[in-house]
Structure 1
Amino acid sequence: MHKVVSRDGTTIAYEKAGEGPPVVLLGGGFRDHTAFDTLIPYLAPHCTVYAYDRRGRGQSGDSPDYTVEKEIEDLQAVIDEAGGRAAVFGGSSGAILALEAALAGARISRLALLEPPYRVPGFRTPPAGFAERLDALLAEGRRGEAVEYFLGEHVGFPPEWIKEWKDSPLWPSNEALAHTLPYDTAVMGDGRVPVERMAGLRMETLVINSDHTGDWLLAAAEATAAALPNGRRLELPGVWHRVLPEVLGPVLVAFVTA
C-alpha cells in the first residue's frame, strides 16, 4: 500500500488503482479499504481510485487523542496525493465524515454519499450515556460486547440480527476494529442533519440509498438530499445499507466524470 502522512504525523495507508479523474473512497463503521474491493473494478477503467484505511484501521496509524478534525485532515492528505482536489464517495458514517470535510473546506470537487445514518424525527436514537458506556466496555477489553452494544443501541439491530452477525465470518474483523467505534460515534455527533450548515454548501452532491434499506436510513437520505442546495437523491437496487457494486459503480463513474 501507499502511505501519506497526515497533519498530526499519523501515517495513512491507501490503495491506488486506475486512471482518470480522481475519486477517494471513504468507508464507514467496521470497515477498512478492503470494503471497496468489489467496487473498484467498476471504477478503475474510468477513474483514478484512492481507497484508504481510516486512522486506527488496517495499515494506517492512529493517535491517542482522536478528533473528527484529524479525520478530516487525513482525508485532505489523501486528496492532496490525488492532485489536490478530488471527488469523494463516502458510505455510512464515512458519508457523514465526507460531508463534514466538505463543510470544513476540504478540496472536494463532487460529493457522493451512501446512506448517511442521521437520526431524523420519529425514529429511535441511541440512549443517554451511549458513548460513555461504549468507552467503558472497550477500556475493560470487552470488545465483543462493545460491538454488540453498538449494533443494538446505536444501529438498532434486534437480537436475532446480532446473532447472525456473530455467526458470520465478518465477526472477528468487527471485533478487531471495535476500538474505532467511538470514532464513528464522534463523527455522527448528535445524529441530527446539520440543516443550517448544509444550506451554504453549494457543491454538487449525490445522496444514494438502497431500495431495500431500513425506514430510518431512507428517511435520513431524503432529509440529507433535501437540506443540500445542490443535492439530489437516487435510489438503487441493493440490500440493507448497501447497494450492489455492479449498480453503484457505473453511477459513480457517470457522476465523477460528468
Structure 2
Amino acid sequence: MTKVQEQQVLRVTSKDGSSIAYERSGEGAPVILVAAALADRTGTRRLAKALAPEYTVINFDRRGRNDSTEHEPYDVQREVDDIEALIDAAGGQAVLFGSSSGSVLALDAANRLGDKVSKVVLFEPPFIVDDSREPMPADLDADVRKLIDEQQPGAVVKLFMHKAMGIPKFAVNIMSIMPGWSSMRAAAHTLPHDLELMRGTQDGTPLPAERWKAISAPVLVLTGGRSEQFFHRGGDALVEVLADGRHEVLKGQGHGVVLMNPKALLPQFNAFVEG
C-alpha cells in the first residue's frame, strides 16, 4: 500500500492544441477518471483519493471545463484524443472509469483506442432503452443551446436537472444554493458535448449495436441497487452489445455514489481490474 501523493495540476496537449489539466496521485496501474455532464475533476477527487492507494489515478478536467481549454468546433473524437494524450502520459495503457454520461465517452474511447485501454468500468450510463423511463425531451438540446446563447448558465443547469435528470423544480432550487452549484454553472456551456455523446441512446429504443463493436477490453457496468430501473435496463442492454461485458449491482447505493460514497465502489472495482 502506498500513500496518496500530494496532488499538483499537470497538463497534456491534445491533438488540436487544447490544454488538458489533470491531477495525478498514487502508484500502480493507471486509471483515468472520466467525469459526467457538468462535472470537473473536483467532483471526482474523493474517488481519486479512494483509488490512489492501489492505482496511479489520472483525474482530469474534460475539455472546456475548469482548467482545461478547448478548440471549436466540438467533436467526440477530440475528447477521445484528450483521453489518448492522458493515456500516453501515463505510460501507454490505462483502465478507464466513466460516470453517467462520462461512461459513454469512456466507451467511445475504448472503441477507438484499442489496446491502449486495458479495462473499462462504468457507473450508471444513463441509457433509456425501453419504457422504464420517458425518453429524453426532443427539444432539450435546442433549449440548452438557446440558454447558452443568452448567457444564462444557471438556467441551463436548472433545465438539465429538471428535464433530463427528473429532479423536481423545488429540489433544483434548493440545489442552487448548495456547494458545487457554481462549478456546474461554470461548465454549463459544455453541456451540448454530453448531449452529443448521448445522441441516439436515450429515446426508448435499443442501443446502436454497431457503435462499440470494436471494443476488445473487458467492460464492467455497475448500477446502484437504489437507482431507478432504467439504469438497470440500460446496463443489461449495454452488455448485450459488447464482446466482453458484465453488469453488476452496487447494493444500497444510488446515482450519487461517485460524489458521496466512492469507497463503496472499491470492492467490485478492484475485483474486476485486478482479476
TM-score for both structures, normalised by structure 2? 0.88
Change (3 A) 1:125 1:31: same
Structure 1 residue 188 displacement after superposition:
0.9
Counterpart amino acid of residue 148 in structure 1: K
- The residue number in structure 2 matching 1:247 is 264
- The residue number in structure 2 matching 1:100 is 108
Partner of residue 76 from structure 1, selected from 84, 87, 90: 84
Q: Number of paired residues? A: 258
SS of the residue 2:226 aligns to: coil
- The CA distance in 1 between the partners of 2:28 and 2:219, in whole Å, is 20
Answer yes or no: is 1:52 the counterpart of 2:60: yes
Structure 1 residue 185 displacement after superposition:
0.7
Structure 1 residue 199 displacement after superposition:
4.4
Answer yes or no: is 1:194 the counterpart of 2:203: no
Gaps of 5+ in 1: none
- The residue number in structure 2 matching 1:2 is 10
- The residue number in structure 1 matching 2:138 is 128
Structure 1 residue 71 displacement after superposition:
0.5
- The residue number in structure 2 matching 1:217 is 231
Counterpart amino acid of residue 132 in structure 1: A
Counterpart amino acid of residue 263 in structure 2: E
- The CA distance in 2 between the partners of 1:144 and 1:42, in whole Å, is 31
Structure 1 residue 105 displacement after superposition:
2.9
CA contact 1:210–1:241 (8 Å) conserved in 2: no
- Output one character per residue of 1:23-49: Cα deviation in whole Å (capped at 9) or x when no partner: 111110121112222122321121111
Higher mean Cα deviation, 34-43 or 76-85?
34-43
Change (3 A) 1:168 1:82: same
SS of the residue 1:14 aligns to: strand
Gaps of 5+ in 2: 1-8
- The residue number in structure 2 matching 1:161 is 171
Partner of residue 231 from structure 1, selected from 220, 225, 245: 245
Structure 1 residue 255 displacement after superposition:
2.4
TM-score for both structures, normalised by structure 1? 0.93
Give the root-mean-square deviation of aligned CA atoms: 1.7
CA contact 2:148–2:189 (8 Å) conserved in 1: yes
- Output one character per residue of 1:56-87: Cα deviation in whole Å (capped at 9) or x when no partner: 11211112311111001001110111111111
CA contact 2:33–2:98 (8 Å) conserved in 1: yes
Counterpart amino acid of residue 128 in structure 1: A
